[in-house]
Chain A
């Protein structure tokens, strides 16, 4: 089966499940579909760095969390009618989604730039460990810093608004998240096919050859990391809006691990791998969680089987072509 048809089928399937659930009066299933879309978005961000760039980041929860806090900080100030700062100019909070998304993208990109500048001085296993350590650093800071709730997190009582839509309606909020996912996936496809994407891919497979052609692979990787952080940050803001709540657990290293799990389940470097992975993960969480208190044992066994037996994840399995050369 051609991968583009699988992708179309996956995305259409996600949209149809949500619509069906909405029509059938199962709003929680719509919420789950929304969660799939948001997690897929976060993983799509990571997929650029990890799948194409070969940067195994075990600290992407930083961007997810920072996007969440961008939403939490802006909305909590707006909800309290309390400006974030007044000097040198008055900076008010906001409850408008488009502004919050811009902020989340900006802080996600900024954090990725800073962390990338330090982490990309290293590679391979050092990179994995350093990104993990940065994740822990943000996690502990978020817990112990007294402003913005510490471990309690921040509750936002009403979901933020989007002009012309009722975001509290599960299906409309799903629509927003799904649309963003489609746009981002389209951008990702364009990036992968662009000279930048091709050079990034080449930098993963044959860095010396890329260097020989006069391109600095570290610059490529840094840009990939920044875009990746921005997308995951945007997903974090949406996830916070889904729950109307942010907390330091968004920064935890388990979240970073789960994002990698999503990508591998779906298929590394595949455009819609994150969508397939997120869908499977959410279904497993719901289904296994209902079977046993110790469901994570079974999740672990399943993951092991996926790694040991199948390369290419679900999308690869469906396409029956090797995922990378």
Chain B
């Protein structure tokens, strides 16, 4: 399918050419599509709050944000994007949390010459042959945190890891990503059901295997369930996973069961730079809670956008694209630049879950990968 993406997109651009919308020259209009109701709404709210914090801090009158709730439904997301593009004539789309929603919205938006800045989801389809000059991922490439977990497992000398993820595309990509930089053997490889809540069977399999460590990718409530049940099972093999199950919003629900677990993330609230300290402080002051990974990604995305607005006008898309590519903003992650397929080059850290003033949170304990890009750079012809 990827082979023909560009050809097909060219075809739409040609067909849609007659219907090209004229923008208001004065204000840059951003359409944010994110999940604000139903399951997973917390992630969308954090994305929005992080993004809007940066927008408010910049206090510009030439920037207008339209926010819509996608209910985590791909068809709703597509319809909102249609409205934003056709009727509200936005210049830039952003905010989608989930890869399946991104795959529903992004190709169509790009085909209609809109910019898309990803605050989270960054599927492989948009990083390799399907990369696009108007698509920027400000978060990561989906495989990154899994690759970092694999690299870290090797650094720690784990030789027989038991790996598991839900049986859906992101889960399959996760295990592939882990194996990419992991050098040891696998004690087992298990696909669980999406939305599964009971992991007794998998924990029994881990116990019966001669694994020396466990890697898992179980986003949302699945990870909470697994960690609680794992802690209760009496198994004490070291556990590694990507940040999603250990994020600020979710960690309080896991509680002590997560203490000591190592997780990989490109951001942590204790990254030591001025931009990050200011961000954490102002986010807490504004919203009364600690920021999450999603909030940090939203914040960085908005700041990237604002930095490009300082350098170029959206009315000159080529110049604006160059300004985005320069990534000339103070990322809360410290050093940040774009690889040639417009996904981040950044450090990925290993964090440990700790308890601090009665709140569960993360502390950086190691760096898994330095200046890491992604595996799809060479496939992207741009």
Contact = CB atoms under 8 A, between A and B. Distances in A.
Partners in one complex: yes
Interface of A: 26-29, 31-32, 35, 76, 79-81, 140, 143-144, 146, 149-153, 155, 157-158, 166, 168-170, 239, 243-245, 247, 249-250, 289, 293-296
Contacts of B54: none
Nearest to A30: B86
B75 A239 contact: yes
Contact of A155 (B3, B69, B104): B104
B86 A27 contact: yes
Contacts of A152: 99-100, 103, 123, 168-170
Contact of A153 (B100, B111, B172, B193): B100
B74 interface: yes
Contact of B79 (A168, A243, A249): A243
Interface string B9-22: 10110011001000
Given A31-B83, A157-B111, A158-B11, A296 B78 contact: no
A67 to B, nearest CB: 14
Contacts of B82: 28, 31
Nearest first, the 4 A-B pairs at minimum CB distance are A157-B8, A28-B83, A151-B168, A28-B87
A150 B168 contact: yes
B107 A293 contact: no
Given A247-B100, A293-B36, A294-B37, A155 B86 contact: no
B277 interface: no
Contacts of B79: 31-32, 35, 243
A158 B103 contact: no
Interface string B267-293: 000000000000000000000000000
15 contacts: A27-B87, A140-B193, A144-B191, A144-B193, A146-B169, A152-B99, A153-B103, A157-B9, A158-B15, A243-B74, A245-B75, A245-B103, A249-B73, A293-B69, A296-B38
B1 A153 contact: no
B133 interface: no
B97 to A, nearest CB: 14
B108 interface: yes
A240 to B, nearest CB: 9
A244 B78 contact: yes
Given A76-B1, A150-B169, A243-B78, A155 B107 contact: yes
B167 to A, nearest CB: 4
Nearest to B173: A152
At the interface, is chain A mostly helix, strand, loop or mixed? helix
A196 B336 CA distance: 69
Contacts of A79: 1, 4, 8
Interface string B28-52: 0000000011100100000000000
Interface in B154-211: 167-170, 172, 191, 193-194
B5 interface: yes
A296 B12 contact: no
Contacts of B86: 27-28, 31, 170
Contacts of B170: 151-152
Interface in B332-354: none
Contacts of B167: 143-144
Given A244-B78, A249-B73, 6 more contacts: A31-B82, A80-B4, A140-B193, A149-B103, A153-B74, A293-B41
Contacts of A81: 4
Interface of B: 1, 3-5, 8-9, 11-12, 15-16, 19, 36-38, 41, 69, 73-75, 78-79, 82-83, 86-87, 99-100, 103-104, 107-108, 111, 123, 167-170, 172, 191, 193-194
B8 to A, nearest CB: 4
Contacts of B99: 152
B39 to A, nearest CB: 11
Contacts of B38: 296
B38 to A, nearest CB: 8
B244 to A, nearest CB: 15
Contacts of B104: 153, 155, 243, 245, 247
A168 B17 CA distance: 11
B37 A157 contact: no
Nearest to B105: A245
A39 to B, nearest CB: 11
Nearest to A151: B168
A150 B41 CA distance: 22
Contact of B194 (A143, A146, A166, A243): A143
A155 to B, nearest CB: 5
A155 B106 CA distance: 10
Contacts of B191: 144
Nearest to A285: B76
Contacts of A144: 167-168, 191, 193-194
Contact of A168 (B8, B16, B75, B103): B16
B18 to A, nearest CB: 9
Contacts of B36: 293
A193 B120 CA distance: 55
A76 B4 CA distance: 10
A249 B74 contact: yes
A263 B8 CA distance: 38
B192 to A, nearest CB: 10
A123 B16 CA distance: 50
Nearest to B87: A28
Contacts of A293: 36-37, 41, 69
Task: Name which of B37, B69, B74, B103 has the most chain A CB atoms within 10 A of its CB.
Answer: B74
A155 B104 CA distance: 6
A153 B103 CA distance: 8
A26 to B, nearest CB: 6
B78 A157 contact: no
Contacts of A155: 103-104, 107-108
B250 to A, nearest CB: 20
Nearest to B73: A249
Given A239-B75, A295-B37, A146 B172 contact: yes
